[in-house]
């Protein structure tokens, strides 16, 4: 469950190419995928830039491992894994609190009007189905948000693409020119 939140909250991000517009000709700058995610999390994308990258299941699972450790989330979640297929992401996690158990969440992302929206399709705690509202409440608590719709906010940027394809998440975000 927290994996779902980290994946979509951090989406919310190995190398990505970043096109930078200049007065004469565009140049390409190498930025790590994780740099893009950090900039998105802070809401500090560089004005006038577009960032486009993709993440495999393996990269995201490694990211979860590092994030869970660095964010001191081991008190809440022991591990989280993601599997992406057919426009959805399946997240599995071993939750330690409030009740120890395995959680499985299936969700998708929709990009509309520069915002990305999480849609929880199904969730289970152990073998028992739980309502999407349960996942949203826990997620809002962990993410320190008031709404599931804020999980993917990226500050000064806008979502252009968030596609989930077999084994891969493809994102494209941009920051408008400052006026």
The overall average pLDDT reported for the chain is 76
Q: What is the pLDDT of residue 45?
A: 80
Q: What is the pLDDT of residue 161?
A: 93
- End-to-end alpha-carbon separation of the chain, Å? 40
CA distance 179 to 156: 13
**In terms of DSSP H, where are the helices of the chain?**
2-9, 33-42, 57-70, 132-143
Of the candidates 65, 76, 52, the one whose C-alpha atom is nearest the C-alpha of residue 168 is 52
**What tens digit of pLDDT does each residue of 115-150 get?**
888 899 999 999 999 998 888 877 776 666 666 666
| CA-to-CA separations, 125 to 43, 68, 148, in angstroms, rounded | 33, 20, 19
- The mean-pLDDT minimum among 10-19, 30-39, 95-104, 127-136 falls in 10-19
Percent of the chain with pLDDT over 90: 26
Report the predicted TM-score, pTM, of the whole model to 2 decimal places: 0.71
CA distance 33 to 59: 10
* Alpha-carbon torsion angle 36, 42, 45, 47, nearest 10: -170
- Cβ–Cβ < 8 Å for 109, 8: yes
Chain center to CA of 169: 9
**What tens digit of pLDDT does each residue of 74-117 get?**
667 788 899 999 899 999 988 877 678 898 999 999 999 998 88
pLDDT reading at 11 higher than 90: no
Residues whose CB is less than 8 angstroms from the CB of residue 81 and which lie 6 or more positions away in sequence, other chains included = 3, 61, 64, 91, 92, 93
| Average pLDDT estimate for 49-65 | 87
């Amino acid at each position: 469950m927290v994996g779902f939140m980290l994946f979509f909250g951090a989406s919310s991000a190995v190398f990505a190419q970043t096109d930078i517009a200049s007065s004469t000709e565009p140049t390409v700058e190498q930025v790590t995928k994780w740099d893009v995610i950090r900039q998105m999390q802070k809401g500090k994308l560089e004005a006038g830039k577009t960032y486009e990258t993709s993440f495999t299941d393996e990269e995201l699972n490694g990211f979860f491992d590092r994030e869970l450790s660095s964010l001191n989330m081991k008190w809440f979640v022991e591990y989280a894994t993601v599997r992406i297929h057919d426009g959805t992401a399946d997240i599995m996690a071993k939750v330690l609190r409030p009740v120890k158990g395995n959680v499985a969440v299936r969700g998708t992302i929709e990009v509309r009007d520069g915002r990305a929206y999480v849609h929880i399709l199904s969730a289970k705690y152990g073998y028992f189905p739980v309502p999407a509202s349960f996942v949203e409440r826990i997620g809002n608590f962990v993410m320190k948000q008031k709404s599931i719709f804020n999980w993917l906010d990226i500050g000064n940027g806008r979502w252009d693409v968030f596609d989930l394809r077999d084994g891969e998440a493809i994102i494209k975000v941009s920051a408008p020119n400052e006026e």
